[in-house]
């Protein structure tokens, strides 16, 4: 065998170069249109950041970085193709050449984006999570733990069916920011008690301060937009472990999750029209895409409550488990998944979701704008008053 002619280090280099060359077609360097253009200063910062990365991003990513760097600084590849036997330089040349006529500006932006992604998925070297470590005990409405490479964000207002109060919105965003940076591979959402989550805490609407209704509505729109953005931008696999009924925004954001496991006791309900409101969580885009428009309309317009089996059939839920074995089976599976290489999981998730990020942010902005109007409507006010009036009569 030809490889036997090489000494060990050379064989290793040859092997790596061959793998690089073989893997090239799988790397999509011609990612479509970046909307912004990074400045020279941002590009220089990214160059410096590369030197401080602690984790080796792997050869494929390094090759991609190399190609974007060359394109950004020298433009399209015009040097002659290295010989067949010059494996490493041939792989580099092919990566650069595959960028074709991509402009220097676009390559610069993509280089900056790639470095940012690597930086955000950096695994801190020193920090080791201990079993059942409570990551942040400062949360009032959540229990957040990291164990066996999994960060779990458990909604913790069981007496209110885990309704999302203003405090909980802020805490979830904080927990997601921390989970994005911690050394876990997966982030799991679940609920404490018999419900997963009853959606927006309806008393968020009744608690009007001196700012008045209109300003309150605008502030809430801003909060919701930030909240949903945290899911759109979350860099690691996000998994829903749906332990019971889910309502409203707790359902709509599931379209932004990467996997959703559900007990057969769960139901999925988005009672927007009933409440004089309109869809949020990017569901006006993700649900028709996931379920098909005709099915999504029944859910989003006509408040159809889905059983777990129906949600699974429509593609919102990945798999349904009998309630008696739900926790055991799901966690067994998640523990296996969490042992996979975390950087690879994060980068793959970002590749899958990255294509749509801009669209999702635009949809989110539009949905929140509509809601700010809807929250001020007569329909919405009376539906919320009805909910609390019915409660007080019981
Ligand atoms: N906002 C505020 N409070 C809520 C709530 C919500 N979204 N969901 C539940 N609660 C409160 C109830 O008011 C009740 O409080 P109380 O004990 O002080 O009276 C407590 O949680 C338990 O809820 P209850 O309605 O008694 O439980 P249930 O098992 O009969 O019904 C739900 C559970 C989720 C079906 C029902 O509470 C519900 O429909 N909630 C509203 C869901 C909703 O419309 N969300 C907004 C979507 S946009």
6-15 confidence digits (pLDDT tens): 343 444 454 4
269 close to 252: Cβ distance less than 8 angstroms: no
Quote the pLDDT of residue 50: 87
| 109 and 135 fall within a common domain | no
Q: Would you say the CB of residue 135 lies under 6 angstroms from ligand 1?
A: no
- Residue 218 is part of which domain span? 129-393
For residue 194, what is the domain's CATH number? 3.90.226.10
Compute, in degrees rounded to 10, the torsion defined by CA atoms 52, 53, 59, 65: -70
Confidence at residue 207, expressed as pLDDT on a 0 to 100 scale: 78
Are the beta carbons of 117 and 343 closer than 8 angstroms?
Answer: no
Q: Are residues 73 and 92 in the same domain?
A: yes
CA–centroid distance, 160 to ligand 1, in Å, is 6
Binding site membership of 315 for ligand 1 (Cβ less than 6 Å): no
Ligand 1 atom with minimal separation from the 249 CA: 48
- 97/213 Cα distance (integer angstroms): 57
Phi-psi region of 58 (alpha: psi -120 to 50; beta: other; left: phi over 0): left
CA-nearest residue, atom 7 of ligand 1: 201
> 147 and 110 in one domain?
no
Are 72 and 113 within one domain?
A: yes
Confidence of residue 137 (pLDDT cuts 50, 70, 90): low
DSSP state letters, 260-278: EEEETT-EEE--TGGGT--
Residue with tokens 């229990």: 143
54 and 133, same domain (yes or no)? no
Q: For the sheet containing 259-263, what is the strand order?
A: 133-134, 142-147, 150-155, 186-191, 238-242, 259-263, 319-321
pLDDT given for residue 393 in this prediction: 60
Mean pLDDT to the nearest integer, 115-119 = 84
Is the CB of residue 108 below 6 angstroms from any atom belonging to ligand 1? no
Asked if the model's pLDDT at residue 99 lies above 70, the reply is yes
Any ligand 1 atom below 6 A from CB of 92:
no
Domain final residue pick, 72, 87, 120:
120
Atom of ligand 1 nearest to the CA of 200: 46
The mean pLDDT of 111-129, rounded to a whole number, is: 69
Tell how far the Cα of 192 is from the centroid of ligand 1, in angstroms.
15
Position in ligand 1 atom list of the atom nearest CA 195: 34
Residue owning the nearest CA to atom 44 of ligand 1: 271
The better pLDDT of the pair 268, 33 is held by 268
| Residue 39 and residue 10 share a domain | yes
In this prediction, residue 352 carries a pLDDT of 95
Last residue of a domain, one of 99, 120, 141: 120
Q: Based on the fold, state whether residues 195 and 320 are members of the same structural domain.
A: yes
**Which atom of ligand 1 is the closest one to the Cα of 269?**
47
Assess whether 179 and 247 both reside in one domain. Answer: yes
Please indicate, yes or no, whether residues 188 and 230 belong to a single structural domain of this protein: yes
Report CA(295)–ligand 1 centroid distance (Å). 26
Percent of the chain with pLDDT over 70: 86
Ligand 1 pocket, residue 160 CB under 6 Å: yes
DSSP H stretches of helix in the chain: 8-23, 40-52, 59-74, 87-97, 104-120, 166-181, 203-206, 213-232, 249-252, 283-291, 293-300, 308-313, 326-337, 342-354, 357-375, 378-393
Residue 95 has pLDDT above 50, yes or no: yes
Give yes or no: residues 61 and 114 share one domain. yes
The residue from 87, 120, 153 where one domain ends is 120
- pLDDT reading at 247 higher than 90: yes
How many domains would you assign to the chain? 2
Residue nearest atom 15 of ligand 1, based on CA coordinates:
160
Q: Which atom of ligand 1 is nearest to the CA of 274?
A: 44
CATH of the domain at 12: 1.20.80.10
Q: Tokens 């996000």, residue?
A: 238
Regarding whether 142 and 113 lie in a shared domain, the answer is: no
Q: Round to whole Å and give the CA distance between 264 and 319.
A: 10
For residue 368, give both structure tokens: 């929140």
The two three-digit tokens of residue 72, written as one number: 């950004």
pLDDT for the residue numbered 388? 80
CA 229 – CA 177 distance, rounded (Å):
11
Does one domain contain both 159 and 116?
no
204 CB near ligand 1 (under 6 Å): no
Å from CA of 93 to ligand 1 middle: 61
CA distance between the termini of the chain: 83
């Amino acid at each position: 065998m030809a490889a036997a002619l090489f000494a060990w280090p050379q064989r290793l280099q040859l092997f790596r170069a061959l793998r690089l060359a073989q893997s090239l077609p799988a790397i999509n360097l011609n990612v479509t249109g970046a909307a912004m253009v990074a400045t020279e200063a941002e590009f220089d910062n990214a160059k410096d950041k590369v030197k401080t990365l602690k984790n080796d991003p792997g050869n494929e990513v390094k090759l991609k970085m190399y190609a974007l760097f060359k394109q950004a600084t020298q433009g399209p590849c015009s040097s002659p193709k290295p010989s067949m036997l010059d494996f490493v330089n041939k792989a580099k040349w092919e990566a650069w050449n595959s960028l074709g006529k991509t402009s220097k500006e676009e390559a610069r932006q993509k280089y900056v984006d790639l470095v940012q992604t690597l930086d955000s998925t950096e695994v801190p070297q020193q920090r080791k999570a201990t079993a059942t470590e409570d990551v942040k005990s400062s949360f009032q409405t959540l229990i957040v733990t990291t164990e066996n490479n999994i960060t779990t964000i458990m909604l913790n207002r069981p007496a209110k069916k885990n309704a999302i109060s203003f405090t909980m919105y802020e805490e979830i965003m904080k927990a997601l920011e921390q989970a994005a940076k911690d050394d876990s591979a997966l982030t799991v959402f679940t609920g404490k008690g018999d419900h997963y989550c009853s959606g927006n805490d309806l008393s968020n609407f009744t608690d009007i301060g001196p700012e008045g209704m209109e300003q309150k509505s605008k502030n809430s729109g801003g909060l919701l937009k930030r909240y949903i953005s945290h899911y759109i931008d979350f860099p690691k696999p996000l998994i829903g472990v749906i332990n019971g009924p889910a309502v409203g925004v707790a359902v709509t954001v599931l379209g932004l999750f990467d996997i959703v496991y559900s007990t057969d006791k769960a139901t999925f309900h988005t009672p927007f029209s009933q409440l004089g409101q309109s869809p949020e969580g990017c569901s006006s885009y993700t649900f028709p895409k996931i379920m098909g428009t005709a099915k999504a309309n029944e859910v989003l317009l006509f408040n159809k409550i889905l059983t777990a089996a129906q949600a699974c059939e429509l593609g919102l839920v990945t798999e349904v488990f009998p309630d008696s074995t739900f926790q055991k089976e799901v966690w067994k599976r998640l523990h296996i998944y969490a042992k996979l290489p975390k950087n690879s999981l994060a980068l793959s998730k970002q590749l899958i979701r990255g294509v749509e990020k801009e669209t999702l942010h635009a949809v989110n902005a539009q949905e929140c704008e509509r809601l700010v109007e809807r929250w001020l409507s007569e329909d919405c006010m009376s539906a919320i008053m009805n909910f609390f009036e019915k409660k007080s009569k019981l």
